Amino acid sequence: MSKLDERFIAAFDIASAMTQKIPPDTMLMFYAYYKQATKGGNFKQPTEGIPLKNAFKLNAWFQIKNLSIDEAKEKYIELVEKITNQKIN
């Protein structure tokens, strides 16, 4: 496993354990970066939840579709670091 993958998994674990309220636009960025980092450009319409919310999720993912998987992992890590004020090594 690469160092980037280890950092991404650590960032995901930290983000998953967060209890603070995160603004909806930031949550959408978490979703988009995570999906791009784990699925690449294999877009799939979310099937669970509220249709309007799903449309926002898919739109957020489309907006970053030009990022590579590694770039999306880096952006996800940076977002976690920004919100938590914690450096992920």
Alpha carbon separation from 15 to 7, 26, 57 (Å, rounded): 12, 12, 17
What pTM, to 2 d.p., does this model score? 0.88
Residue 46 in this model has a pLDDT that exceeds 70: no
CATH architecture label of 3-84: Up-down Bundle (1.20)
pLDDT band at 45 (very low <50, low <70, confident <90, very high): low
H or E, element range at 26 = helix 24-39
Residues belonging to the chain: 89
Name the residue ranges covered by the structural domains of the chain.
3-84
CA distance 41 to 4: 19
For the chain, give the percent of residues with pLDDT over 70.
93
